[in-house]
Chains A and B, each alone.
With several copies, the nearest count.
Chain A
Amino acid sequence: MNDLEPQAVLSWVERFIARIDDRVQELTELDRRSGDGDFGTNMVTALTRAKAKLSPSPADAGAAFSSLSTAFLEHSGGTSGPLFGMWFREFALAGQGGPAFSTALLADAARNGVAAVRRLGSASVGDRTMVDAMAPAADALAEAAENDVPAVRALRLAAEAARAGADSTSSIIARRGRASYVGEAALGAPDPGAVAVALFFESADGS
């Protein structure tokens, strides 16, 4: 059985929080190039609250994600807060009441998550947002589920896809939509929201 049980999900979330904490300056710097420079702080504020709320013995597979989601929704100092809140909410809902995350369940969560973020933020792939990492990760998980890839490996594939998506934002000059004001100034550096998504999937790997 390769599925992710509540304790494994908890460890994943804890590793994610720690990793963002390590990288806060770098993320803030990225937001300074393409936004207003508060992304790192926004993330850490939410994640510090999430950490305080994480139950050491989560009741179900969704519990840790639920804490994450609520913390982001309660915080929402910037655009990323509520979007991450709704994204993690889909992971929480997928795991709610269940004993573990299968690859199929992860694929469901990722698909619903990116759908929620796209619906709420009206960003498409290529707009230089977190969606540029979320969408390929969701696709990777969907493919893995179809091919019965076990959850831990599926997440490694998702992480690779998310990272590639995040990297791709370095060369995007958004011409339409919300990122259009950024222009060439941000060229060469990735979108911080997309990088955070990649860090999330990379944190699944505890080895």
Chain B
Amino acid sequence: MAAHQLVNDPQELVGEALEGLELSQRGRLRWNRDPSFVIRADDRRPYKVGVLSGGGSGHEPLHTGFVGYGMLDAAVPGAVFASPTAIQIQAATEAVDDGRGVVHVVKNYTGDVLNFTIAAEISGDIRIETVLVDDDLATDTSVEGGPGRRGTAAVVAVEKICGAAAERGADLSTVATLGRRVAGNARTMSLALRACTHPGQSVPSFDLEAGQVEFGVGIHGERGVRQIPVAPADELVAALTEPVADDLGLSRGDAVFVIVNGLGSTHQLELLAAYRQVTRLLDARGVTVARQLVGSYVTALDMAGCSVTLIRADEELVGLWDDPVRTAALTW
């Protein structure tokens, strides 16, 4: 039996959680068992563009927690840290299509891209636009033919903006274009203070020497790009924020969406204090925070650590951000 986990058979965890989610959402969500996907069961406006995302489980509340009015129409969960299958994605795509087409919001991982691509190919007549989210600056290498930057916390903003646009009645290419604008203007850096432990395992996915921080991690418990010594939070947060701001070329007068995201077991006290530091760093650059999210939205199981995401904001995007949203994990 694994340490510090509340699990039955680890293989059953995702299914049990999906059942729990459906129960706890009392009719607002429906979990389609086979193939597995989670879909809105509220009074969804007909004849809107469908917005669909998915990926491995273990990142909750992503993506299932964002299914609902103003955000996703359905989410397709894979096993923990494993892509959902093309058949699942295809079934969810069919379920949300009203004839106006479906936007696939896809985090850039080989398995996810492969299965979403295949799903799009086998979904026959349905018009599908894919928005690839690849915000992770740590993987911004110029290796030719490499997999490119990973998709991490910026996906929440992409889902929010696409969802809002679709709810307003925008057409397929408009929704996709907006999503791509968000994704293209988003960069993230993450660090881990303790690795995560997979369900049913008793040791973390990697060892971190005492006094070391794993810098540039992703959301699957993999190691980062380098280890740096533990430092006061403000320094670590600066080490995350500055390269992101530099990469986006942010300068005086710019406005950004900020996502300070907990990776699983980092406490809200720490995330709020980190957000404070992000605002100070941006202030010093003359960059304004247009809107922000501070919390654990895209987790890597119980990893301790956080990520900082900055996204260039403009008036249109802020308007869409402010549109109402009603999901398990995001409501305003």
A residues near B (Cβ < 8 Å) are 70, 73-79, 81-83, 85-86, 89, 116, 120-122, 176-178
Most chain B CB within 10 A, of A73, A81, A122, A177, is at: A73
Q: Are A82 and B114 in contact (CB under 8 A)?
A: yes
Closest residue of chain B to A89, judged by CB? Answer: B122
Size bracket of the B interface: 10 to 19
Q: How far is the CB of A112 from chain B (nearest CB, A)?
A: 12
Q: Tell me the complex Cα distance, A173–B88, Å.
A: 36
Q: Are A74 and B114 in contact (CB under 8 A)?
A: no
Scan residues 72-124 of chain B and give those whose CB is less than 8 A from a CB of chain A.
79, 82-83, 85-88, 110-111, 114-115, 117-118, 121-122
> Contact check: which of B79, B85, B110, B117 meets A74 at CB < 8 Å?
B85
Query: Interface residues of A: mostly helix, strand, loop or mixed?
Result: helix
| Residues of chain B within 8 A of A76, CB atoms compared | 83, 85-86, 111, 114-115
Q: Are B87 and A73 in contact (CB under 8 A)?
A: yes
Q: How far is the CB of A178 from chain B (nearest CB, A)?
A: 8
| Residues of chain B within 8 A of A78, CB atoms compared | 111
Q: Tell me the complex Cα distance, A177–B143, Å.
A: 9
B residues near A (Cβ < 8 Å) are 35, 79, 82-83, 85-88, 110-111, 114-115, 117-118, 121-122, 144-145, 147
Q: How far is the CB of B292 from chain A (nearest CB, A)?
A: 33
Q: Are A82 and B35 in contact (CB under 8 A)?
A: no
Q: Tell me the complex Cα distance, A163–B8, Å.
A: 44
Q: Are A75 and B145 in contact (CB under 8 A)?
A: no
Closest residue of chain B to A69, judged by CB? Answer: B122
Q: Tell me the complex Cα distance, A83–B147, Å.
A: 17
| Residues of chain A within 8 A of B122, CB atoms compared | 73, 89
Q: Tell me the complex Cα distance, A177–B144, Å.
A: 8
Q: Are B86 and A79 in contact (CB under 8 A)?
A: no
Closest residue of chain A to B90, judged by CB? Answer: A73
Q: Are A177 and B145 in contact (CB under 8 A)?
A: yes
Closest residue of chain A to B78, judged by CB? Answer: A76
Most chain B CB within 10 A, of A76, A121, A178, is at: A76
